[in-house]
Amino acid sequence: MSSKEKKSVTILTESQLSSRAFKDEAYEFYKELRKSQPLYPLSLGALGKGWLISRYDDAIHLLKNEKLKKNYENVFTAKEKRPALLKNEETLTKHMLNSDPPDHNRLRTLVQKAFTHRMILQLEDKIQHIADSLLDKVQPNKFMNLVDDYAFPLPIIVISEMLGIPLEDRQKFRVWSQAIIDFSDAPERLQENDHLLGEFVEYLESLVRKKRREPAGDLISALIQAESEGTQLSTEELYSMIMLLIVAGHETTVNLMTNMTYALMCHHDQLEKLRQQPDLMNSAIEEALRFHSPVELTTIRWTAEPFILHGQEIKRKDVIIISLASANRDEKIFPNADIFDIERKNNRHIAFGHGNHFCLGAQLARLEAKIAISTLLRRCPNIQLKGEKKQMKWKGNFLMRALEELPISF
């Protein structure tokens, strides 16, 4: 979107927010919004009217605001309830990301024990082995597409083993994940995504049947046990939870690893500093999370009660979308916000969200990134971008900031 087009736009649409052109210029656009229009109107098709939030303080406030709901059933009456856009929508949306307390607390409790500090640390050797094995395959070639060869397979292997699902199905998960996070309401895209989600539901049904017959010490078996007890998890919640863990268990980490590597290769001084001072790795990960936030826009929140923000009435049923990417570049919070600085102090980014819905897998994502990037820099000391920076393309995706590919040589 050019500067001229920005000035003429009064309402942004879902398709614009999802476009590659928007991703390329989003940071400059957000900067203008933070200055002059921190509450920006959106037209979200079947979802109705919405507002885009760009400032950090507003984001913090709204991410904890009880007037905003994740479950639209807590906002709409039965008569107002919108028709499902996808046939399989109900089967795949009854998870904790779309729920409010007390349901959210109940659902989160069922899985959070698998993501405790102690449990995550037990995965360290396994993650290291996976990282080394993946690099063993590509190192003789002295070239790889970081996304396909490293950043995607590492977290999908980890979450697959935690859940107890076959590794040979991981490419299917990649396709299904894209269908799930694709917010497009274009008829042809809806039809294609509905078909893919139908495949995913069939897969989950088959997987659950097998786990019922042959339970093991994995997370899906534990969830099935909770479902069989009746009061803790419904069948729809079971399928939705498995789906969420598969998608969220790798999608954010793929972007974190890829975006961090890209940022380091675009800022050679910071890359060299990290080589010389590997103890800066934790700080570098936090800066990468802030600088190119893996999740660019939050999933939707519905307004249950009207309120005023920046002199504008936010009405009941309005949608709120928060730009984590913009909040994490807010100049009032982060000095020199557009500078990638791996020694940044007091880095209060919200890349993993804030409040009740703070990412359950944040610690796992950080550990995976730490091991993956440390191993990459140690084993491939001459790493460099294959091609020019301008050739790198951001995916056209509503929720995520993700590169199509990242070719590197070493």
Q: Measuring CA to CA, which residue among 384, 372, 302, 383 is closest to residue 150?
A: 372
* Tokens of residue 402, six digits: 């993700």
CA distances from 38 to 210, 243, 298, 327 (A): 50, 34, 16, 10
d(CA 403, CA 410): 20
Helix (H, G, I), strand (E, B) or coil at 407: strand
Q: Are 38 and 177 in contact (CB under 8 A)?
A: no
Half-sphere exposure of 31 (CA within 13 A, CB side): 11
Q: What is the CA radius of gyration of the chain?
A: 21
Domains, in order of start, for the chain: 3-409 (1.10.630.10)
Q: What is the pLDDT along the chain (410 residues), one digit of tens a residue?
A: 444 444 444 789 888 999 999 999 999 999 999 999 999 999 988 888 999 999 999 999 999 999 999 999 999 988 887 656 566 677 778 899 999 999 999 999 989 888 999 999 999 999 999 999 999 999 999 999 999 999 999 999 999 999 999 888 888 888 888 888 876 666 677 788 888 888 999 999 999 999 999 999 999 999 988 876 666 788 888 999 999 998 888 999 999 999 999 999 999 999 999 999 999 999 999 999 999 999 999 999 999 999 999 999 999 999 999 999 999 999 999 999 999 999 999 999 999 999 999 999 999 999 999 999 999 999 999 999 998 888 899 998 899 999 999 999 99
d(CA 153, CA 308): 45
Q: Are 50 and 318 in contact (CB under 8 A)?
A: yes
Instruction: State the Cα angle at 374 between 373 and 377, rounded to 5°.
Output: 80
* Tokens of residue 37, six digits: 């229009």
Rounded to the nearest 10°, the torsion over CA 123, 126, 132, 133 is -140
Half-sphere exposure of 79 (CA within 13 A, CB side): 0
The pairing of beta strand 68-69 with beta strand 301-303? antiparallel
Q: Are 170 and 153 in contact (CB under 8 A)?
A: yes
What is the sign of the dihedral through the CA atoms of 295, 297, 301 and 305?
A: positive
Residue tagged 């998890």 (tokens):
233
Largest interatomic CA distance in the chain: 63
Q: Are 182 and 196 in contact (CB under 8 A)?
A: no
* Residues composing the chain: 410
H or E element at residue 227: helix 219-228
d(CA 314, CA 93): 25
d(CA 341, CA 147): 23
* Tokens of residue 305, six digits: 């009660």
